Amino acid sequence: MAALYRGIAFPFQQGDTSFPEAATDNDLIRQSLLQIVLTQKGERVMRPDFGTNVFSYVFENNNDVLEEMIRVDVSQAVARYEPRVLVRAIDVTREDTTINITVRYVIVATRQEDSVQIPVPGGTT
């Protein structure tokens, strides 16, 4: 079956030839979700609204309100910048200064379910 989506792999690296490493379908979508969640809002010059604020939540009080703020932030960013997926659930767990975000989603074109786990480091303890 031919690939539905093709793009440059993240993180950017050289492939077998002199061209950048390529990614297709599920890998490309997973990498896109990583970029969306791990990009701090305001980090991209021409797209100041791209990304999330999850790095600013790392040192906040660990409670249900914080988890819901992270879920809302991530779900809004994914809905806005990744139209190829429908988010089923976002699970948030915390360990010391790391927030672990698991995004469970369905790929719109194939109706295939998948997930990606994204650790958000906060620093040293």
List, in order, residues 6 or more apart from 64 with CB less than 8 Å away: none
Pick out the chain residues at pLDDT < 50: 124-125
Can you give the pLDDT at residue 36?
Answer: 95
Q: Is 64 a member of any domain?
A: yes
Q: Is 1 a member of any domain?
A: no
Q: Is 39 a member of any domain?
A: yes
Candidates 44, 29, 34; CA nearest to 11 is: 34
Can you give the pLDDT at residue 125?
Answer: 41
In the sheet that holds 98-107, the strands lie side by side as 85-95, 98-107, 113-121
Q: Is 96 a member of any domain?
A: yes
pTM of the model: 0.81
Give the domain CATH number at 90.
3.10.450.40
List pLDDT tens digits, range 11-29: 666 667 766 666 657 888 8
Q: H-helix or E-strand containing 27?
A: helix 25-38
* Rounded to 5°, angle at Cα 110 from 83 and 115: 70
Domain enclosing residue 20, as ranges: 6-121
Can you give the pLDDT at residue 124?
Answer: 44
Confirm if 58 and 124 have CB atoms less than 8 A apart: no
Can you give the pLDDT at residue 91?
Answer: 95
Can you give the pLDDT at residue 100?
Answer: 92
Report the number of distinct structural domains present in the chain. 1
Can you give the pLDDT at residue 118?
Answer: 94
DSSP 113: E
